[in-house]
């Protein structure tokens, strides 16, 4: 990710919250072998309801936020990570012991985190729900969430 990444036009949700500059979040897998810390902003929180994400995240949808690579570090257990890299350079990092999906990667560097592995409330203001036309028949979307039939187009951006 570079400073010219167009997605950076999204507001970093953390910048005005009460954690101020000392903000820090921790996350870990189900068994606790792998732990990480996020010291920078989370941004672009997304929940994708497509059939591919259902399988990749073993859930009704992905729940994911991007990070700045400089604001993320592994605290312990990094040797327990295993990776799956798909086409186009995007991949996922799992705990090889318990199977939790911890992070997304792009070209082998951490690109974002799965919100489910966070230990604290990230206080995200709004998660965009994308590809809701592809959601599973058994999923009921909450009222009032921001939805997109498919991916977001540039006109969807704030």
Contact positions toward Zn ion, by CB under 5 A? 29, 31, 33, 48, 50, 53, 95, 97-98
Distance of closest approach, residue 19 Cβ to Zn ion, in angstroms: 26
Minimal distance in Å, beta carbon 104 to Zn ion? Answer: 11
Cβ proximity to Zn ion, 2 vs 87, nearer residue: 87
Name the phi and psi angles at 22, rounded to 5. Answer: -90, 10
Nearer to Zn ion, 98 or 145 (CB): 98
CA angle 62, 66, 70 (to 5 degrees): 145
Q: Which is nearer to Zn ion, 67 or 132 (CB)?
A: 132
Q: Which is nearer to Zn ion, 13 or 131 (CB)?
A: 131
We find the least distance from the C-beta atom of residue 66 to Zn ion, in angstroms, to be 15
**Cβ at position 96, least distance to Zn ion in Å:** 8
Give the C-alpha separation, 28 to 94, whole Å.
11
């Amino acid at each position: 990710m570079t400073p010219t990444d167009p997605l950076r036009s999204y507001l970093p949700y953390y910048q005005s919250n009460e954690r101020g500059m000392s903000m820090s979040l921790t996350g870990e897998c189900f068994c606790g072998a792998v732990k990480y810390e996020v010291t920078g902003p989370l941004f672009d929180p997304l929940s994708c309801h497509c059939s591919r994400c259902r399988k990749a995240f073993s859930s009704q949808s992905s729940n994911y936020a991007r990070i700045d690579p400089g604001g993320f570090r592994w605290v312990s257990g990094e040797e327990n990570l295993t990776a799956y890299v798909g086409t186009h350079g995007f991949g996922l990092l799992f705990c090889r012991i318990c199977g939790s999906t911890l992070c997304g990667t792009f070209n082998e560097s951490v690109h974002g985190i799965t919100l489910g592995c966070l230990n604290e409330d990230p206080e995200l203001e709004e998660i965009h729900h994308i590809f809701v036309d592809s959601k599973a028949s058994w999923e009921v979307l909450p009222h009032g969430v921001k939805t997109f039939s498919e991916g977001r187009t540039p006109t969807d951006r704030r």
